[in-house]
Homo-oligomer: A and B are copies of this chain.
Amino acid sequence: MTAYGSQSAIIQMYRVAKRYGAKSALTDISLDIADNEFLFLSGPSGAGKTTLLKLLYLGETASEGQIIVDGLNLSRISRKRVPFLRRKFGIIFQDYKLIPTKNVYDNIALVVEAVGVERRSIKKMVNSLLRTVQMEDRSRAFPPSLSGGEQQRVAVARAIAGNPKIIVADEPTGSLDADSARVIMGLLKLYHRRGATVIIATHDTALIRQTGGRVILLNDGYLEVSTVIPKLRP
């Protein structure tokens, strides 16, 4: 258990392990994440960052240990309730996971609709989201015709569309130039101020220094360090 105390923790992991066949992706991870925390997950390629995030929204199930997310015990949750769990999250996937056969607008509208927003307000909402990530002029384009950075920005817009309690961002600025990256980080900060818990997986130490926050360092599946890095004065 960390110093954060479990009463205010929105996510609690206790002795969690994840194995893929013989391959151990995560080993003995115990970690509390406080409500409204701004957390970085760092570590070299293949350390287990993406795997850890997947466990939280049941993209994968843990091989061992307990995970509790916003009061839901993930090892006990029924199949029917999984969508309910996932709607607590806004996820920016490392490979974006945009639907290639639907245009940018529909990719986002789908999430907005799925979380149950009234049909009348969908259009306004989607357009405002696209404006936020500076993609409103590409709203009719299909994902395969977007540049890497453009896809990533659409993925960000989709993640925040449902106004989620927890934002999970896997390498959210990997394909972005410094300016666009700053816009995205500003956006995540904004949602953080509005009350969301934000978890960012990245190997980009410059990015971490730019905003500061607690950093969890993974290495080869082990939790190596949990430390707070201050914001770098520019």
Contact = CB atoms under 8 A, between A and B. Distances in A.
A150 interface: yes
Nearest to A145: B20
Interface in A144-193: 145, 147-150, 152-153, 170-171, 174-180
A45 B176 contact: yes
Contact of A177 (B170, B179, B203): B203
Interface in A35-85: 43-46, 49-51
A174 B174 contact: yes
Most chain B CB neighbours (cut-off 10 Å) among A51, A95, A149? A149
Work out how many copies of this chain go into the complex.
Answer: 2
A203 B176 contact: yes
A2 interface: no
A204 to B, nearest CB: 8
Given A94-B175, A148-B95, A206 B203 contact: no
A153 B44 CA distance: 13
A43 to B, nearest CB: 7
B205 A175 contact: no
Contacts of A150: 45-46
Most-contacted residue by chain B among A45, A49, A205 (CB, 10 A): A45
